[in-house]
Amino acid sequence: MKTILNDIKDNRLKQAYLLYGEEVYLRDFYKGKLLEAMVTDGDTMNYNIFEGKDIEAREIISISDTLPFFAEYRTILIKYSGFFKTGSDELCDYFKQGIPESTRFIFVEDEVDKRNRFYKIVKDLGNAVEFKTQDDNTLTLWIKKLIGQEGKQISAQSIAYLLAKTGSDMSNIKNELEKLFSYTEGREYITNEDIDAIVTTRLSDHIFAMLEAIGLKARQKALNMYYELLSLKEPPMKILVLLTRQFNMILQVKDLRNNGYSKPDIAKKMGMAPFIVDKYMQQASKFETKFLMDAVKECVATDENVKSGRISDRLGVELLIVKYSM
């Protein structure tokens, strides 16, 4: 990430940048920084945007070959094209032979395949940056900075409490902080009571409750929680991703605990606040290691079955919950 800022600072912008990964807030932040450096404010003649998986490579090439009009660069932003998973021979050949010096590309993707030919070409030509979910230590420093900028204060314990409710999604955290700033206007300190009053509980807290029901073999309760999430328009695959993540995190915590790690050691190794480790340790005590390993494998298998069309997403997750709560 720092390399992007250094490129901008040194006025040595590369010809292509690929921004990808699950942390959308950071992806958008650095995309904005690059656009500020490449595109003059209000210049629509030298700035082109493409989005989606039906983008024509020939159209991109045609625009790329067009010289900028009274500007240093022609900037092309391409979002969620799928080129870095499915590939594009036409674009591979075009980039390989060399794009015009006056053209700059910014690609934004959720996921990429690092074995993909186009990924390797773009990375060699420019810079490919992955934006991963940030660990709790990094998020804590970021939250402190944002709160300090508002002239407010918060304890470390309250930050951990906030993260337990918001999760690690930085866009969500930022939105909840804005609500907290408004709610505590005129006051310096943000407390747990303020957080309880205004912050929306994240989806993964519902997943934690569902896992607790699964651990207690309360099948109907676990299913009712699933149906409630569906009624709130939560996609089954999003629920599956979080179930997989939580089973995996519980397994890791249990394994570390079994190997003699203390709670502070686990928190440090996994980049979590001790407050969050407590929750995982409580969950870990309800499950055997083999059960967790099997559950993770079954989650992965369900994901593959849904994506291959062998089962619907809703039914796949439902059967998974039934199997592990019997």
Any idea which fold 203-324 has?
Zinc Finger, Delta Prime; domain 3 (1.20.272)
Token pair for 290: 């083999």
pLDDT confidence bin for 216, thresholds 50/70/90: confident
**293 vs 209, higher pLDDT:** 293
Can you give the residue ranges of every domain in the chain?
2-130, 136-198, 203-324
Quick check: 231 pLDDT over 80?
A: yes
Length of the chain as a residue count: 326
Q: For the stretch 97-119, what's the b/e string if a residue is b when 16 or more beta carbons lie within 10 angstroms of its beta carbon?
A: eebeebbbbbbbbeebeeebbbb
Percent of the chain clearing pLDDT 90 (strictly above): 66
Quick check: 161 pLDDT over 90?
A: no
Secondary-structure class of domain 2-130 per CATH: alpha beta
Span 232-274, pLDDT tens digits: 788 898 889 888 988 998 999 999 999 999 888 988 888 777 7
**How far apart are the C-alpha atoms of 128 and 114, rounded to whole Å?**
10
Any idea which fold 136-198 has?
Helicase, Ruva Protein; domain 3 (1.10.8)
Span 182-207, pLDDT tens digits: 999 999 999 999 998 998 777 777 88
* Strand ordering across the sheet containing 127-130: 47-51, 74-79, 103-109, 16-20, 127-130
* pLDDT at 41 (0 to 100): 87
